[in-house]
Structure 1
Amino acid sequence: MKYKILGNTGEKISAIGLGCMGMSHAYGNIDDNESINTLHKALDLGINFWDTADFYGGGNNEKLISKVLKPNRDKVFIATKFGFRYDESSISFSNHVDGSPEYMKKAVELSLQRLEIDCIDLYYLHRIDPNIPIEESIGAMSNLVKEGKIRYLGICEASAKSIERANAVHPIAALQSEYSLLTRDIEAEILPMVRKHNISLIPFSPLGRGMLTENFDINQLKQGDSRLKLPRFQSPYLENNQKLVQSLTEFSTSKGITNAQMALAWLMAQGDDIIPIPGTKKQKYLEINAKSVDIVLSKNDINTIDSIIAKYPNTGERYNEDSLKLTNG
Structure 2
Amino acid sequence: MQQRRLGQTGPLTSALGLGLMGMSDFYGSADEGESIATIHAALEAGVTLLDTGDFYGVGHNESLLGRALQQSSRREQAVVSLKFGALRDPSGGFIGYDNRPKSVKNFLAHSLQRLGLDHVDIYRPSRLDPEVPIEDTIGAIAELQQAGYVRHIGLSEVGVDTIRRAAATAPISDLQIEYSLLSRGIEDAILPTVRELGIGVTAYGVLSRGLITGDWRRPEAGEFDFRAISPRFQEGNVEHNLALAEALGAVAEARGITRAQAAIAWVAAQGQDIVPLVGARRRDRLRESLDALDVALSAEDLAAIERAVPKGAAAGGRYPAQQLAFMDSER
Determine whether 1:318 maps to 2:318.
yes
State the AA in 1 paired with 2:102: E
State the AA in 2 paired with 1:108: L
Matches within 5 A, 1:1-329: 1-9=1-9, 11-70=11-70, 71=72, 72-90=74-92, 94-213=94-213, 215-219=214-218, 223-310=223-310, 313-328=313-328
Report if aligned partners of 2:212, 2:242 keep a CA contact under 8 Å in 1: no
1:312 deviates by 8.4
Report if aligned partners of 1:20, 1:281 keep a CA contact under 8 Å in 2: yes
Report if aligned partners of 1:241, 1:312 keep a CA contact under 8 Å in 2: no
Partners of 1:288 and 1:306 lie apart in 2 by 22
1:326 deviates by 2.4
Report if aligned partners of 2:52, 2:83 keep a CA contact under 8 Å in 1: yes
Partners of 1:166 and 1:257 lie apart in 2 by 40
State the AA in 1 paired with 2:317: E
1:254 deviates by 1.0
Identical positions, percent: 40
Partners of 1:141 and 1:12 lie apart in 2 by 20
1:278 deviates by 0.7
Partners of 1:314 and 1:277 lie apart in 2 by 20
- 3-state DSSP class of the match of 1:276? strand
Residues paired across the two proteins, number: 326
Change beyond 3 A, Cα 1:260–1:193: same
Partners of 1:50 and 1:269 lie apart in 2 by 21
Which residues of structure 1 form unaligned runs of 5+? Answer: none
Deviations 1:121-157 (A, max 9, x none): 0001110111111111111111000111101000100
Report if aligned partners of 2:181, 2:311 keep a CA contact under 8 Å in 1: no
- 3-state DSSP class of the match of 1:66? helix
- 3-state DSSP class of the match of 1:52? strand
Report if aligned partners of 1:218, 1:233 keep a CA contact under 8 Å in 2: no
TM-score (norm 1): 0.95
1:310 deviates by 3.1
Deviating more after overlay: 266-275 vs 23-32: 23-32
Deviating more after overlay: 319-328 vs 218-227: 218-227
Report if aligned partners of 1:55, 1:86 keep a CA contact under 8 Å in 2: yes
Change beyond 3 A, Cα 1:281–1:314: closer
Partners of 1:277 and 1:312 lie apart in 2 by 21
Change beyond 3 A, Cα 1:15–1:311: closer
1:95 deviates by 4.8
Deviations 1:250-304 (A, max 9, x none): 1111111011110010001100000011111100000000111111111111111
Partners of 1:9 and 1:131 lie apart in 2 by 28
State the AA in 2 paired with 1:216: D
1:10 deviates by 5.7
1:52 deviates by 0.2
Question: RMSD over aligned Cα, in angstroms?
Answer: 1.6
1:220 deviates by 6.7
Partners of 1:252 and 1:217 lie apart in 2 by 19
Could you list the structure 1 runs, at least 4 aligned residues long, displaced by more than 4 angstroms after superposition: none
Which residues of structure 2 form unaligned runs of 5+? Answer: none
